[in-house]
Structure 1
Amino acid sequence: MQQKLIDFIQSGHPLSRMDKDLIFQYFEPVLFPKNRIIEEAGKVPEYLYYIISGYLRLFHYNENGDEVTTHINCPPGFFTSYFNFINTAKSNENVECITECELLRITKTDLDSLTSKSEAMKDFSIEVFQKSIVYNETRSTELATLSGEKRYRKLIENYPGILHNVPITYIASFLGMKPESLSRIRRKLI
């Protein structure tokens, strides 16, 4: 599985033999069943995950006890509660496997070791976290400025596989709407 991560990284960053060996050394392959919470709210996230296959979500409970999905990730890519992982701070969010997930994971300590030993991985890590910041800022802007229909259209345009793998209730929450509202939008677009 590490070879898939190597191929992903090499699409933009050349890796030496040593870099590749370090990836095999530090990234641990894991397989989780659907509906498994792999990082719990109230704890410091233990791992940064690279998704080989499957869908994950970040969610928390609001003051009414309802689940609020704040992020859904489609493979390939990295996933965790980034701020809390980087700052080794307790997260208020859970990381859950929506589907069965094949993942590679790395601890913060091992990520720090890896990036101190490999300039290519240091550069790549910085790029991943920069993209995460841009994504989160873009998402905040879209939630504040786009209509529900436009947010939905953009989601299915960019991630068409999400509809076949993620329950509508999670998608609606992620888009900042009630499931009934999303159902009306979907009926209108058919």
Structure 2
Amino acid sequence: MKRYSTIQNQDEVNHLFQVFFDYVRLLTAIPQSDQDYCRQLFEPVYAPKNTLLETQGTVHKYHNFIVSGFIRNYHLDGKQREVTIDINDGPRFFTSYNHFVHQTVSNENLHCITDCKLLRISRENVSKARDVGITSQEYSEKMLQYYVESSKQRMIDLTTLTAKERYLKLMHNRPTIIKNVPLIYIASYLGINPGSLSRIRQEI
């Protein structure tokens, strides 16, 4: 298991935070005081390909903001096969959300599919941000709403769309995943047999 390292270059750190602040502004304004506070609470890290940021059987310690790279969230089924629950690239927060919020033992793994640059914040510092920051509570509420709605939509898609329709929707909405993520992970995420997905791709 490869390990991450703290990013030291100040220009690169500034870029990571600029991407983060621009992302937050899509949902709510963020005053300079909150920006300065975020720089104290978030750690800029580099995680090489195949790093497991968090593992099953542990209480996940960090909420990760993806600046660049691709990460998946997966668990093992009864036959010890990997089931990909979510795949994403930046900019976006990414974690085993319910387990992180409630600090319960997770059955999920966070796997860097590619090299990744992240800003990560501990559960303790999330609480500090909520208590001190002007932006944090409003942003957290909106992010939770987005998480619930996207999870609901994913369940609807899995039960109402055909395999081909699910792939076409992913290809249309998130083409970078199609281009950068191995087929086996995409097939698992879409609930499609890899062989069937290969045939669908040939048809398209």
Query: For 1:148, which of 163, 167, 172 is the aligned residue?
Result: 163
Shift of residue 11, structure 1, vs aligned partner:
3.1
Please say if 1:105 is aligned against 2:120. Answer: yes
TM-score normalised per structure 1: 0.97
Q: For this pair of structures, how many residues does the alignment match?
A: 189
C-alpha contact 1:74 1:159 (8 A) present in aligned 2: no
TM-score normalised per structure 2: 0.90
Match of 1:159 in 2: 174
C-alpha contact 2:19 2:91 (8 A) present in aligned 1: no
What CA distance in whole angstroms lies between the structure 2 residues aligned with 1:12 and 1:125? 10
After TM superposition, the structure 1 = structure 2 runs for residues 48-63 of structure 1, keeping only pairs within 5 Å, are 48-63=63-78
What CA distance in whole angstroms lies between the structure 1 residues aligned with 2:25 and 2:79? 45
Shift of residue 111, structure 1, vs aligned partner:
0.7
What CA distance in whole angstroms lies between the structure 1 residues aligned with 2:52 and 2:44? 17
Match of 1:180 in 2: 195
Q: 1:53-101 deviations in whole A, cap 9, x for unaligned?
A: 0000011111111111011012111100000000000110100000000
What CA distance in whole angstroms lies between the structure 2 residues aligned with 1:123 and 1:12? 9
Amino acid in structure 2 at the alignment position of 1:54: G
Match of 1:2 in 2: 17
C-alpha contact 1:6 1:23 (8 A) present in aligned 2: no
Match of 1:87 in 2: 102
Shift of residue 161, structure 1, vs aligned partner:
0.9
What CA distance in whole angstroms lies between the structure 2 residues aligned with 1:50 and 1:130? 17
What CA distance in whole angstroms lies between the structure 1 residues aligned with 2:84 and 2:25? 32
Q: 1:113-142 deviations in whole A, cap 9, x for unaligned?
A: 101112312101111111011110110111
Amino acid in structure 1 at the alignment position of 2:17: Q
Structure 1 stretches (4+) deviating beyond 6 angstroms?
none
SS at match of 2:135: helix
C-alpha contact 1:2 1:27 (8 A) present in aligned 2: no
Match of 1:25 in 2: 40
Unaligned runs of 5+ in 2: 1-15
What CA distance in whole angstroms lies between the structure 2 residues aligned with 1:57 and 1:119? 31
Q: Identity over the aligned pairs, expressed in percent?
A: 39
Match of 2:85 in 1: 70
C-alpha contact 1:30 1:104 (8 A) present in aligned 2: yes
Match of 2:8 in 1: none
Please say if 1:116 is aligned against 2:131. Answer: yes
SS at match of 1:183: helix
What CA distance in whole angstroms lies between the structure 2 residues aligned with 1:115 and 1:55? 28
The RMSD of aligned alpha carbons is 0.9
Match of 1:137 in 2: 152
